Amino acid sequence: MNKVILSATLIAAAVSASVLAADLLPLKQGIYVPANRPCKGASNAEIVNYWGGKSSFGSSQATCTISKIARNGNVFTISDKCSDIRGGGEIVGGPTVVTIDSPTEFTRGGEKYRHCGTKVQF
């Protein structure tokens, strides 16, 4: 009897963890560059990353976590908390509006981005 209860508890915990780990945006995880740029040789200033879960869009200088998200079709309004990778200080900004064009493409701030895999290509 105790084994059955323990098994049920472990299964429930595993299901809860997988639900919590779900990506908040319908995008493939990895590195993105402006659509008009090649993946290989893109500068740090051009590269945007998305690692799923509660991660927001990051860069070579910042890491961000989604604190609030609203969806209207394929348009997402994201409020996030960002911190400077080097100094750890908070980076303040307003909500970001992102249009998810496909699992590998999005538009943000008038710039279209495309997926380039999970590693920066030099």
The pLDDT value recorded for residue 61 is: 86
The reported pTM is: 0.77
Residues 32/101, Cβ–Cβ less than 8 Å: no
Residue 16 has a pLDDT of 35
Q: In terms of residues, how long is the chain?
A: 122
Per-residue model confidence (pLDDT) at position 11: 39
- The neighbouring-strand residues paired with 55 are 65
Give 1-36 pLDDT, tens digit per residue: 444 333 333 333 333 333 445 799 999 999 999 999
Write down the domain spans for the chain: 23-115
Interatomic CA distance for residues 8 and 65, integer angstroms: 32
pLDDT at 10: 34
Q: How does pLDDT run across 83-97, given as a tens digit for each residue?
A: 998 888 888 778 999
Can you read off the two tokens belonging to residue 39? 């993946």
